[in-house]
Amino acid sequence: MSRFQSSSKPFASFDSNSQSDMGIATFGRRLADPISRIRSVRALYIQHGLEPNYWCDLNSWTEPPTYETPRASPFFDPAEDWISIGEGAAIPAHHFAGTRQLYEALLAERLLVGEPLNIEEVITLAVNNQTAALAPFSAGAINALNAAYYRLPEAFTRKGAADFFQESQAFNAALGRYFCENCRGHPIQIAELAAGKRLSRWRHVVNSIPWGTKLAVILTDYCADALPSLEDWNQDGPVQLESSIVNLLAPDPLIAKFPKLDFMLATYAFDSIWRDEDSHYEKLGDRLFRSEYRLVVPDWHPHRSELLKHGLSWTSLSEADLSAICIEKRAVPTRLAGGDQQVLKQHFDLSNLSRAGYPGGLVKVVTQAFEECLKPTGCFVIADCGSYDHGSDGGVVTPELLSSGRVARYRPLDFLLAEQILQSRGFRVAVISVMDFVFSHLDQKELPERAIREMQGEDSGFVMLISRAC
């Protein structure tokens, strides 16, 4: 008989007022509180199964998710509702939500075989335990959270989005100058990806470009609700605006969408989506593992039954519901094709790290932009922020796993890897700090002190300028 043939045996068969033939201590009383019940199951399992060092903290939230109405059950301690395997060990990292069903399956299997389970057996049981999963493991599963989040009104409010690159007078004035200094078009043709509702950027650009310059700008985003109203925009001024839907989650988002462009612009865009080409990799010796993810509804979720029935298409879904969904992770042996494999290997060697995010989505969109949209002299401008540093992780404190509808998946070194991959494919790439970009195109005297102070607060941000190699 397979060791896992009976792994779904319910713990309910072990009555809390009885004692098993394995001599396990009784609960002493029936536990009505499901979270106390799970913790008791976990305590029993640790006592008779895995050694305690296989269970470790995983700070899965920057802070616990909150709800407007009190919940019947208390919050889990993140140390108690995650099983983390492989951290710092000779196997790749796996993280599983400690749901009641998983602890029951582990304990039942432990009692069945009569000895502690090994790591491979625990991983197999956890992967096969799909009771609370919204979908099977896949590399792109986490983007289902993003897609669901972007269907909510909160996604397109000031509260829901980062705003430095949209609002900064210094950055956007310099951006306007950059467009004019690097193009002789009339008008200069520009498309912005993931533009959002705000027009602050283009108001700053209007005030910075030389007299007589004309810019024709297409603002694009995920859906019509994300795009701004242009009713009050002066279309007779130096910057003419129009809008169009471009869904960056689509397989080929830029095909036949634009006239030939001088510039394509994206700020925050690639940190806010997770395309199928994006991956996390872990290197152990000569072996390479790709991370796959699974969305799990924890036992204490107030709308657990609704989510398990309807999934993320549930019509009453809220931001709080998304924030309480857990993201599990497993590692699968893999290989990368051709030149990208070599670039990733060099990246691991240079960074002295064992893990890396592979920004395949960014690379594909940029490559497609040059193939389909940009003129031969065109340029793709990407701006983002968050402790960017060529030589280190830059002190990034965001955990790799976040329970959030806004899943920030790109980290500073991922953009550095994107630079290396694009260069290996024949593009010219320059990555500079926001401060250097601004003062390359503006004199400090042109900016009010407030704008300079605001920019200094974002001195870890960067600008990536991509063009065809000559």
Separation of alpha carbons 291 and 281, rounded Å = 6
Q: At what angle do helices 412-424 and 338-351 cross, to 10 degrees?
A: 140
How does DSSP assign 228-248, residue by residue?
PP-TTS-TTSSEEEEEEE--T
CB 455 within 8 A of CB 171: yes
Separation of alpha carbons 173 and 170, rounded Å = 5
Q: Is the confidence at residue 1, as pLDDT, over 80?
A: no
Q: When comparing pLDDT for 124 and 30, which is higher?
A: 124
Residue 265 has a pLDDT of: 97
Q: What dihedral do alpha carbons 372, 374, 377, 379 form, nearest 10°?
A: -130
Residue 205 has a pLDDT of: 96
Q: Residue 38, class by beta-carbon neighbours within 10 Å (0-12 exposed, 13-18 middle, 19+ buried)?
A: buried
- Residue 278 corresponds to which tokens in the numbers above? 């994006």
What is the number of residues in the chain?
Answer: 470
Q: Is the confidence at residue 51, as pLDDT, over 50?
A: no
Residue 84 has a pLDDT of: 75
Separation of alpha carbons 375 and 182, rounded Å = 13
Separation of alpha carbons 35 and 24, rounded Å = 20
**Segment 376-403, tens digit of pLDDT:** 999 999 987 543 333 333 332 233 332 2
Residue 180 has a pLDDT of: 95
Which residues does residue 301 pair with via DSSP β-bridges, in sequence order? none
To the nearest whole percent, how much of the chain has pLDDT over 70?
73
Separation of alpha carbons 373 and 366, rounded Å = 10
- 3 state SS of 258: coil
**pLDDT band, very low/low/confident/very high, at 47 (cuts 50, 70, 90):** very low
Q: When comparing pLDDT for 269 and 208, which is higher?
A: 208
DSSP 8-state class, residue 171: H
**pLDDT band, very low/low/confident/very high, at 63 (cuts 50, 70, 90):** very low
Separation of alpha carbons 454 and 458, rounded Å = 7
Mean pLDDT over 133-145 rounds to 85
82-85/287-296 β-pairing: unpaired
Residue 97 has a pLDDT of: 84
374-384/261-267 β-pairing: parallel
Question: Cβ atoms within 10 A of the Cβ of 432, count?
Answer: 14
Q: When comparing pLDDT for 127 and 280, which is higher?
A: 127
Please state the pTM of the whole predicted model.
0.74
Q: Is the confidence at residue 178, as pLDDT, over 60?
A: yes
Residue 114 has a pLDDT of: 77
**pLDDT band, very low/low/confident/very high, at 213 (cuts 50, 70, 90):** very high
- Return the CA Rg of the chain: 25
Q: Is the confidence at residue 424, as pLDDT, over 70?
A: yes
**pLDDT band, very low/low/confident/very high, at 177 (cuts 50, 70, 90):** very high
**pLDDT band, very low/low/confident/very high, at 446 (cuts 50, 70, 90):** confident
Q: What is the CATH number of domain 160-274+336-468?
A: 3.40.50.150
| Mean pLDDT computed over every residue of the chain | 74
- Residue 309 corresponds to which tokens in the numbers above? 């029935």
Q: Minimum mean pLDDT among 34-48, 106-120, 291-305: which range?
A: 34-48
Residue 270 has a pLDDT of: 82
**Domain regions of the chain by residue span:** 11-152+291-333, 160-274+336-468
Q: Is the confidence at residue 13, as pLDDT, over 50?
A: no
Separation of alpha carbons 369 and 377, rounded Å = 12
Separation of alpha carbons 175 and 438, rounded Å = 8
**pLDDT band, very low/low/confident/very high, at 457 (cuts 50, 70, 90):** low
Q: When comparing pLDDT for 51 and 366, which is higher?
A: 366
Residue 61 has a pLDDT of: 26
CB 244 within 8 A of CB 211: no
Angle at 219 between CA 191 and CA 385, to 5 degrees: 80
Separation of alpha carbons 224 and 245, rounded Å = 6
Residue 107 has a pLDDT of: 79
CB 146 within 8 A of CB 409: no
Residue 381 has a pLDDT of: 97
Residue 55 has a pLDDT of: 32
Q: Residue 408, class by beta-carbon neighbours within 10 Å (0-12 exposed, 13-18 middle, 19+ buried)?
A: middle
Separation of alpha carbons 370 and 264, rounded Å = 9
Residue 276 has a pLDDT of: 80
Separation of alpha carbons 175 and 429, rounded Å = 17
